[in-house]
Amino acid sequence: MEEENEGYEHFYDPTSHSGFLEDKLRNLRRNLRDDQRRYCKIGLGRGSSEITVTLEEVTEGDEESAKQWITVIKRMKPTPENLSSIKMGMEKTYAHRRFWITSQSPTVADIFEHYPRFIDMPYLIDKDFGEMFPGKADLFLRKWEATIVPKLLKLAALEKNVEGPPQPESAESKCFTALKMLTHYLPPTASGRSQGWSKCSVKSALSYILDVKPTGTSINSLLESPETATTVNQPCLVSLGHPSSAVQYVIIAATDRVVIPLQDEGLTCSLDKLFKLYWVCNLAYPLQVAAVFKFMEHLYGMQISGGKRSRIMKQTKLQVL
């Protein structure tokens, strides 16, 4: 051994992380079952193991600390004086929250009961998504209006049977027309149809992402609508007014009686928030628009979940991208 070495590098070299002991431990780790690992890869509930998030199991001490911080988050209102404490509490409870959601699969109502600040501080949804997928949180915002919408509008100009203004003027109108075109080109897959799906129009399928309500509709009345509660189980967007001039967007989970007002955000930011909510809460996509959400996965730079992709989806990606 050279003089600068300590004499035990054959067994373990801390610089190169090599040696007999490290090789032995690496081989042992390869043969561990999932329930024996300290860091577990847990699927996110979409019938696919392709997209996973590595989580660290929460120790007893961390569990107690997380419960204390959850109490703080619940009690503190989002005033300017409390914002820093709330953000710190969300950071301190992140590992506990992810492990709880992915292992226990709580409902949206349960999640927001423990973390009500997701409702009055929706940007915390972006924060959690960014922790789950580092560097990907703003990719949809960067690509959608600048790259995808113009190409979808070109396709819309060639269509004669899709409703929508031929030359939309506002950015909101363009985004809404592009969303309709994407829903038109990415209908439910054949596998989805065999699971209780019935044929529906583009307008009906679109309602599983965005439902348009008349101007002046109160937010409180959204949960009282029997139509919304019976037709859409998963969270969706609601536009209070037509998207070309909508005053406000909200996310509604009617089954869980949860409504998240999105302040002054436009349709693009609202779509971004809805997609992230599905991942933060570990929710399955609606079958009627699963292909649209999987296309959005591509824009976020994520591996497409769900195994086989429909042929129409592959063709649409080639046309649009």
Count of other CB atoms within 10 angstroms of residue 77:
10
Sequence-distant (≥ 6) Cβ neighbours of residue 16 within 8 angstroms: none
pLDDT in tens, 171-186: 889 999 999 999 988 8
Sequence-distant (≥ 6) Cβ neighbours of residue 284 within 8 angstroms: 45, 46, 47, 234
Hey, is 213 helix, strand or coil?
A: strand
Q: What's the pTM?
A: 0.73
Q: Are 30 and 22 in contact (CB under 8 A)?
A: no
pLDDT tier at 164 (50, 70, 90 boundaries)?
low
pLDDT in tens, 244-298: 876 789 999 988 889 999 987 899 999 999 999 999 999 999 888 999 999 999 9
Percentages helix, strand, coil for the chain (3-state, rounded to 5) are 50, 10, 40
Count of other CB atoms within 10 angstroms of residue 264:
9
Domain boundaries, the chain: 139-320
Distance CA 262, CA 260 (A): 6
Burial (0-12, 13-18, 19+ Cβ within 10 Å), 233: middle
pLDDT at 41 (0 to 100): 39
Distance CA 128, CA 75 (A): 20
